[in-house]
């Protein structure tokens, strides 16, 4: 047990509820410029396959807070990363504000879309960076929509780059009875945003057989696809570097959409639409390590369905993905 | 060793079951220390000893089902046989080790000391990482403390201050005080990233050099060294850790067996891994670690 | 046909023959699954009820009478378009009934019943139609949102009947209900769960007799939440005191003589796991009891 | 035919035939049919119980790949190899017969039923994809086939003292299979020495995962074709234990170091181009320790089978690929 200083009784208390990385909770209107604003999107109503990602935001908050607590409990001033042998400490200022969950309406995709978009737009208009927690991957579209609207107001006439790490293209125009707005169409809907640099759109981790028509459209507009085979053949770091170079051509800003299902389902089964990409946690981290240095100012992470993984590892691996991509914000050099 | 016995009381790798009086010199004496992990979200290491014992049978199945207890590795055509002479003695589990306390730790250390005094090798089945600490306490009380080889994703406090320890598989943030203490003690840290980046052969070379340079070794195997995606049955979660194949390659590639002074296998929580891979990996790694003490080559 | 090989087709409800509209005629019991769980609030999961009911009721080597039954597969649904979904469910129900067959819909949420009832109404011009609903809840709310939600299920059906609630029998209600809904329920035939303990009791026979008198065609809607939650997991909060399967079957037995043309079974949330058949097996038994009521109604 | 439905169904809804293939009966089979049949059977053992749910699990998962019946899908392209296929002919040739009606039968009767069903399918000239079931279905299915037998076994058990019921052991013991017509790839465990000696001395071949990975696809096709040409019936036994357990965990005993989907799919595509009479999938226990929600094992198998089916139906053609 750790000795908690009883002279400061408030140190024994924390605010009720879960927040991402155990950060403060509050209204987007109070966000400090340059900080991160968390937007929960607990919806899996637009997922056509296995349900459960509506529990994703809560699981991400729980698992990231568990990680923070595991450090805090040890009363250390500094930490060494064996990978780089550099020393770090946890940021103590309010680098992040958890703005809670967007209102989800199971019966209306339109209302859910607007509700999420409103929040990510509000975050970005404060010059803060939205971290949107899915939910199924459809919710990437409303998150990116809000980002795009704020981007248009802040940088009129400019365009942003886009990287999607995913086992699937999500580039269908329609998915059968599910129509145009669901977890198979978010990439396509994002590509239709007015200020996205379509020719800069990059996919990393695509696996298996894909729709030839979608492939032609993506490559026709200048987009780039790195398959899971490319990750194995070229190496995760090289793929991420090439992807980033492609996405940033003529752009200063990057939107990153992380679908955790690009990782092989053998290692991370707690997700709705599984693939066997062979991509290991180590490779996935190597990709994120490259992107952590990119000028990301909009981010979503989707498809964590904790109830589909009885081992509990999926939510913790997903939390670790957030840690890796936000490394330079959560931690500061000691 | 009976090939068919399947007693309700499972013993590690079909070891003889016995008491402290049954020691024979050079034997490996197995002691379960079912202490639960204090990790609030993911307890379950109390079931580690049983999980390891059961998994050891699954790993040995090809041997146990062969009349001569001999198997062929079809990769190399190499034949190995389970040693017929009794080299393993399972003395059971330590009762009442929860909650862990200094007294329990001293009891474990004292049992280790007694096993060593009989010129046998203690093999502790944890339990969480504190069991490894107790093993080292027990081994360090003698005149010539062994060198410490720690296979773990994290630096172990008890080993960090021993003389020139070798840590293999470190991954994730480490407390700076431990890191510096380890460096001050002349320790070496071979991180998981080193192994991923430079390859398993390089890792085997440097570990083998360490083994050669030391007469006797205490070996702590913490299953959290494994990547969480491959083996989830541990209290902590290690993302980007070693694969079971990498761990196996190290343990079967480094000639440790004859130099072992004591072993602790810790942080196996079977219930956290419904696939059963963690205890299976642990048992497979442990049997590879015991190597020539347990198996002998047979001429083809 | 070659020598009869011991092969059976991939599962259908109760191992019944698989077919389409052409195979239906007067006297047939048409069955279809409903993959739909977006429109009642609460938890999703009812979309897989039809699949699990087929698993639970086929290939078990149990011989049930199925020569007059056809499994039509699953109905068209639009998971993200409530208006389109309601319209297409109604249309399909009408087309099935137009063949003269009676119809059993299995699975789905509480938006299914009002949509299918509209199909019965369209297929029964000039007839007096009624509803028997077996549910733990009354679902008589008048708070309408833009989309169909569970607590208005009965209201939406009653609104389609010229005689309103007087052609509606609500059986099995229990536990806490809103005071307003409870008051409105007095306009309907009403037998709460406490009065179903004795299936020969007055409440149930009054309901049955009045429905027999006033209705030419009846829609029988069974909500799995009437059952004890140890038997069936349902979308809304659990109730450990619900009816046993035996009790529900006994209640259904008393409805054998009524002119039931459509029956549905909603609100069942099966587990995802393949062998998790306990609850689905129980629900499948209820489903077959509904089929028998439809069969009796054709005589 | 007057159809009830007018629009596509959500993916997991409706008739769960394998890859949404047409339902068929024996009468519908042609010599070029690829007939899927389930054998939901397992030995009566407590510890391993659950393999009988294999056919159901495999069909459920396979629905994802039924894009040949999805009007909104253009054509599938292998994103790694940039190989595209025309799926239009799949619907004519891939058919689902259903399951052998085996529930509740004990092994002797079950064996007879399996033999009778598989025998009749093969008598139509069609080749089969048999969804098990545990590996006890292999021997009766193989026994049903005409003439001399060849066996390519991926993963699975080998005969030893307490594994007399390993299918390979049964087929060798009954002289139904000659060792020289048998190839075993990446068995789940190292063999008992006596068996390995006897088997290899008699011309049988044992290939480890590592050796197998080094075989080029053309050599694999050649190996399968030669074996197919030297026997009357070539069977492929594909046990899930061929895969590294880290990818699924859905077998009774885990094993590391097995093959991955990146090994198996191209291999099955290559072998599918040889005259294989039947492929038997075994060993998937979709209920193991609550792993039914995880579904990784069935996804592995079906993904690998996709390569086999495309190869068997001769659908693959090359597409130019821009180098990255």
In the predicted model, what is the mean pLDDT of residues D197-203? 93
The reply to whether A106 touches chain C by the CB within 8 Å rule is: yes
According to the per-residue pLDDT averaged within each range, which of C89-103, D220-234, D255-269 is highest? C89-103
Q: How confident is the model at residue D254 (pLDDT cuts 50, 70, 90)?
A: confident
CB-based contacts of D208, cutoff 8 Å, min separation 6: B74, B75, D186
pLDDT at position D161: 60
Least confident of A85-89, B187-191, B270-274, C60-64: C60-64
pLDDT at position C148: 62
Residues of C in contact with A50 (CB under 8 A): 272
Residues of C in contact with D103 (CB under 8 A): 59-61
According to the per-residue pLDDT averaged within each range, which of A295-309, B285-299, C173-187, D221-235 is highest? A295-309
* Inter-chain touch B227–A83, beta carbons under 8 Å: no
Chain-wide mean pLDDT for chain C?
90
Q: What percent of chain B has pLDDT over 70?
A: 96
Beta strand D94-100 with C7-8 is: antiparallel
pLDDT at position C236: 62
Q: How confident is the model at residue C282 (pLDDT cuts 50, 70, 90)?
A: confident
pLDDT tops 90 at residue B279: yes
* Inter-chain touch D77–A210, beta carbons under 8 Å: yes
pLDDT at position B144: 81
Q: How confident is the model at residue A1 (pLDDT cuts 50, 70, 90)?
A: very low
Q: Which residue shows structure tokens 């795009």?
A: A148
pLDDT tops 60 at residue C189: yes
pLDDT tops 50 at residue B232: yes
Residues of C in contact with D98 (CB under 8 A): 7-10
In the predicted model, what is the mean pLDDT of residues C11-22? 93
pLDDT tops 80 at residue B182: yes
pLDDT at position D323: 31
In the predicted model, what is the mean pLDDT of residues A157-169? 98
CB-based contacts of A191, cutoff 8 Å, min separation 6: A171, A198, A201, A221, A223
pLDDT at position C59: 75
pLDDT tops 60 at residue C253: yes
**d(C-alpha A231, C-alpha A244), whole Å:** 14
Q: What percent of chain C has pLDDT over 90?
A: 69
Residues of A in contact with D7 (CB under 8 A): 176-177
- The rounded Cα D252 to chain-centroid distance in angstroms is 18
pLDDT at position C3: 42
Residues of A in contact with D81 (CB under 8 A): 229
Closest partner residue to B66 among D193, D249, D257, by Cβ?
A: D193
* Inter-chain touch D23–C33, beta carbons under 8 Å: no
pLDDT at position B58: 87
Q: How confident is the model at residue D324 (pLDDT cuts 50, 70, 90)?
A: very low
**d(C-alpha B79, C-alpha B66), whole Å:** 12
**d(C-alpha D76, C-alpha D313), whole Å:** 15
pLDDT tops 60 at residue D48: yes
Q: B60 vs B149, which has greater pLDDT?
A: B149
Q: For residue range D161-191, what is the model confidence (pLDDT) as tens digits?
A: 655 679 999 999 999 999 999 999 999 888 8
ipTM confidence score = 0.93
**Interface contacts B/D by beta carbons within 8 Å:** 85
In the predicted model, what is the mean pLDDT of residues C227-254? 82
pLDDT at position B32: 96
Question: Which chains contact A through at least 3 pairs of Cβ atoms less than 8 Å apart?
Answer: B, C, D
pLDDT tops 90 at residue A12: no
Q: Which H/E stretch holds residue A262?
A: none
Cis peptide before B256 (omega within 30 of 0): no
Widest pairwise Cα distance in chain A: 66
Roughly what angle, to the nearest 10 degrees, separates helices D296-312 and D54-62? 70
Q: For residue range C91-147, what is the model confidence (pLDDT) as tens digits?
A: 999 999 999 999 999 999 999 999 999 999 999 999 999 999 999 999 999 887 666
Q: Which residue shows structure tokens 């139609």?
A: C129
Distance from CA of C266 to the nearest CA of D (A): 16
Least confident of A239-253, B58-72, C281-295, D200-214: B58-72
Beta strand C168-171 with C260-266 is: unpaired
Least confident of A68-72, A106-110, D315-319: D315-319
* Inter-chain touch C2–D26, beta carbons under 8 Å: yes
Least confident of A201-215, A258-272, D2-16, D27-41: D2-16
Tell me if there are at least 3 CB pairs under 8 Å linking chains A and B: yes
pLDDT tops 80 at residue D276: yes
pLDDT tops 90 at residue A68: yes
Q: For residue range A177-221, what is the model confidence (pLDDT) as tens digits?
A: 999 999 999 999 999 999 999 999 999 999 999 999 999 999 999
pLDDT tops 80 at residue D143: yes
The reply to whether B191 touches chain A by the CB within 8 Å rule is: yes
Q: Dig out the tokens for A304 from the structure.
A: 């964590």
* Inter-chain touch B230–A82, beta carbons under 8 Å: no
pLDDT tops 50 at residue D108: yes
Instruction: Report which of A127, A59, A107, A26 is spatially closest to residue A301, judged by C-alpha positions.
Output: A59
Q: Dig out the tokens for B296 from the structure.
A: 């002998």
Residues of A in contact with D11 (CB under 8 A): 48-49, 176
pLDDT tops 50 at residue D309: yes
**d(C-alpha A59, C-alpha A65), whole Å:** 10
pLDDT at position B171: 98
Q: Which residue shows structure tokens 């208006």?
A: C83
Closest partner residue to A79 among B176, B227, B240, by Cβ?
A: B176
pLDDT at position C2: 38
Chain-wide mean pLDDT for chain D?
88
pLDDT tops 90 at residue A158: yes
Beta strand A79-81 with A86-90 is: antiparallel
pLDDT at position D202: 96
pLDDT at position D219: 86
DSSP for B23-90, written as a single string? --TT-EEEEEE-PPP--SS---GGGHHHHHHHHHHHHHHHHHTSTT-EEEETTTTEEEEE-SS--EEE
* Inter-chain touch A285–B177, beta carbons under 8 Å: no
CA distances from A295 to A144, A161, A250, A251 (A): 16, 10, 13, 10
Instruction: Report which of D140, D133, D103, D107 is spatially closest to residue D240, judged by C-alpha positions.
Output: D133
In the predicted model, what is the mean pLDDT of residues B188-216? 97
């Amino acid at each position: 047990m750790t000795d908690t200083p009883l002279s400061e009784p408030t140190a024994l208390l924390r605010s009720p509820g879960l927040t991402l990385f155990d950060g403060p909770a509050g209204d987007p209107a109070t966000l400090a410029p340059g900080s991160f604003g968390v937007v929960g999107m607990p919806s899996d109503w637009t997922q056509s396959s296995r349900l459960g990602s509506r529990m994703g935001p809560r699981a991400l908050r729980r698992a990231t807070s568990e990680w923070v607590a595991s450090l805090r409990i040890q009363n250390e001033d500094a930490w060494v990363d064996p990978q780089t042998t550099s020393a770090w400490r946890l940021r103590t200022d309010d680098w992040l504000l958890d703005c809670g969950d967007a209102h989800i309406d199971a019966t209306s995709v339109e209302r859910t879309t607007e509700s999420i978009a409103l929040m990510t737009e509000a975050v970005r208009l404060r010059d803060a960076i939205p971290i949107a927690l899915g939910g199924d991957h459809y919710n990437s579209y409303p998150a990116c929509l809000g980002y795009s609207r704020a981007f248009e107001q802040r940088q009129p006439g400019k365009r942003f780059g886009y990287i999607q790490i995913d086992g699937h293209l999500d580039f269908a125009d329609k998915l059968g009875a599910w129509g145009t707005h669901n977890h198979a169409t978010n990439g396509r809907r994002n590509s239709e945003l007015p200020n996205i640099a379509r020719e800069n759109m990059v996919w990393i981790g695509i696996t298996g057989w894909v729709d030839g028509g979608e492939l032609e459209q993506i490559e026709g507009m200048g987009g780039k696809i790195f398959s899971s085979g490319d990750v194995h053949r070229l190496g995760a770091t090289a793929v991420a570097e090439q992807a980033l170079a492609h996405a940033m051509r003529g752009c200063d800003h990057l939107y990153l959409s992380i679908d955790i299902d690009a990782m092989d389902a053998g290692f991370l089964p707690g997700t709705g639409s599984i693939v066997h990409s062979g991509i290991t946690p180590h490779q996935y981290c190597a990709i994120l390590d490259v992107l952590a240095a990119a000028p990301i100012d909009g981010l979503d992470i989707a498809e964590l369905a904790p109830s589909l993984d009885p081992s509990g590892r999926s939510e913790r691996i997903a939390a670790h993905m957030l840690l890796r991509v936000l490394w330079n914000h959560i931690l500061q050099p000691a | 060793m009976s090939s068919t016995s399947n007693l309700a009381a499972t013993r590690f790798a079909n070891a003889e079951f016995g008491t402290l009086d049954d020691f024979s010199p050079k034997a490996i004496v197995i002691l379960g220390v079912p202490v639960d992990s204090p990790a609030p979200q993911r307890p379950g290491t109390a079931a580690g000893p049983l999980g390891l014992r059961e998994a050891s049978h699954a790993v040995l199945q090809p041997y146990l089902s062969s009349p001569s207890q001999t198997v062929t590795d079809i990769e190399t055509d190499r034949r190995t046989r389970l040693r017929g002479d009794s080299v393993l003695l399972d003395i059971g589990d330590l009762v009442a080790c929860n909650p862990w306390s200094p007294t329990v730790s001293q009891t474990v250390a004292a049992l280790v000391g007694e096993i060593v005094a009989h010129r046998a090798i203690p093999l502790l089945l944890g339990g969480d990482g504190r069991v490894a600490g107790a093993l080292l306490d027990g081994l360090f009380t003698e005149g010539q403390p062994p060198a410490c080889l720690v296979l773990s994703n994290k630096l172990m406090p008890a080993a960090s201050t021993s003389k020139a320890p070798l840590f293999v598989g470190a991954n994730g943030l480490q407390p700076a005080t431990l890191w510096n203490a380890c460096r001050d003690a002349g320790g070496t840290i071979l991180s998981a990233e080193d192994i991923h980046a430079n390859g398993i052969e390089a890792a085997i070379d440097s570990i083998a050099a360490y083994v050669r340079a030391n007469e006797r070794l205490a070996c702590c195997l913490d299953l959290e060294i494994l990547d969480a995606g491959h083996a989830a049955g541990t209290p902590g979660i290690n993302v980007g850790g070693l694969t079971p194949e990498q761990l196996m390659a190290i343990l079967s590639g480094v000639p440790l067996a004859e130099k072992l002074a004591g072993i602790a296998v810790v942080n196996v929580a079977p219930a956290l891994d419904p696939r059963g891979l963690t205890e299976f990996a642990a048992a497979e790694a442990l049997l590879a670690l015991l190597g020539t003490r347990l198996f002998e080559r047979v001429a083809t | 046909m070659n020598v009869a090989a011991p092969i059976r087709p991939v599962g259908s409800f109760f191992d019944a023959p698989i077919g389409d509209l052409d195979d239906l005629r007067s006297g047939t019991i048409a069955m279809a699954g409903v993959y739909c769980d977006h429109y009642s609030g609460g938890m999703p999961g009812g979309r897989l009820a039809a699949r699990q009911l087929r698993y639970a009721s086929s290939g078990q080597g149990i011989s049930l009478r199925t020569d007059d039954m056809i499994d039509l597969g699953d109905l068209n649904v639009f998971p993200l378009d409530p208006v389109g979904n309601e319209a297409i469910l109604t249309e399909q129900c009408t087309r099935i009934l137009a063949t003269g067959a009676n119809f059993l819909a299995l699975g789905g949420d509480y938006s299914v019943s009002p949509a299918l009832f509209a199909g019965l109404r369209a297929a029964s011009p000039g007839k007096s139609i009624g509803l028997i609903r077996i549910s733990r809840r009354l679902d008589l709310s008048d708070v309408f949102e833009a989309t169909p939600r569970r607590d208005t299920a009965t209201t939406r059906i009653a609104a389609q009947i010229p005689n309103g609630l007087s052609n509606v029998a609500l059986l099995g209600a229990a536990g806490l209900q809103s005071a307003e809904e409870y008051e409105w329920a007095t306009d309907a035939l009403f037998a709460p769960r406490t009065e179903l303990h004795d299936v020969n009791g007055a409440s149930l026979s009054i309901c049955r007799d009045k429905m027999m008198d006033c209705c030419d065609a009846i829609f029988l809607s069974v909500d799995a939440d009437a059952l004890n939650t140890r038997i069936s997991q349902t979308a809304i909060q659990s109730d450990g005191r619900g009816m046993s399967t035996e009790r529900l079957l006994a209640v259904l037995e008393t409805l054998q003589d009524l002119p039931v043309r459509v029956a549905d079974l909603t609100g069942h949330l099966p587990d995802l796991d393949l062998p998790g058949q306990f609850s689905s097996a129980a629900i499948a038994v209820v489903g077959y009891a509904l089929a028998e009521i439809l069969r009796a109604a054709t005589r | 035919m007057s159809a009830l439905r007018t629009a596509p169904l959500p993916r997991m809804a409706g008739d769960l035939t394998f890859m949404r293939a047409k339902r068929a009966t024996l009468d519908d089979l042609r010599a070029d049919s690829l007939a899927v049949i389930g054998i939901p059977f397992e030995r009566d053992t407590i510890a391993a119980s659950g393999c009988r749910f294999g056919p159901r699990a495999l069909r459920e998962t396979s629905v994802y790949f039924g894009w040949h019946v999805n009007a909104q899908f253009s054509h599938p392209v292998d994103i790694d190899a940039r190989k595209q296929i025309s799926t239009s002919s799949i619907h004519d040739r891939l058919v689902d017969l259903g399951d052998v009606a085996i529930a509740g039968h004990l092994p002797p009767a079950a064996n007879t039923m399996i033999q009778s069903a598989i025998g009749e399918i093969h008598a139509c000239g069609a080749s089969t994809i048999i969804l098990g079931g545990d590996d006890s279905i292999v021997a009766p299915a193989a026994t049903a086939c005409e003439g001399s037998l060849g066996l390519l076994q991926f993963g699975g058990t080998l005969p030893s003292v307490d594994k007399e019921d390993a299918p390979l052991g049964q087929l060798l013991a009954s002289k139904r299979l000659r060792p020289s017509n048998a190839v075993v790839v990446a068995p789940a465990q190292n063999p008992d020495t006596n068996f390995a000696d006897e088997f290899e001395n008699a011309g049988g071949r044992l290939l480890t995962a590592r050796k197998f990975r080094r075989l080029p696809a053309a050599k694999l096709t050649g190996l399968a074709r030669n074996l197919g040409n030297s026997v009357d019936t070539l069977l492929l036994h594909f046990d899930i234990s061929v895969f590294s357990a880290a990818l699924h965990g859905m077998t009774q005993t885990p094993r590391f170091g097995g093959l991955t989907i990146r090994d198996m799919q191209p291999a099955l595509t290559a072998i599918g181009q040889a005259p294989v009479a039947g492929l038997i999938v075994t060993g998937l226990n979709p209920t193991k320790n609550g792993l039914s929600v995880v579904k990784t094992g069935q996804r592995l198998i079906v993904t690998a089978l996709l390569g086999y089916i495309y190869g068997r139906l001769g659908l693959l053609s090359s597409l130019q690929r821009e180098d990255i």
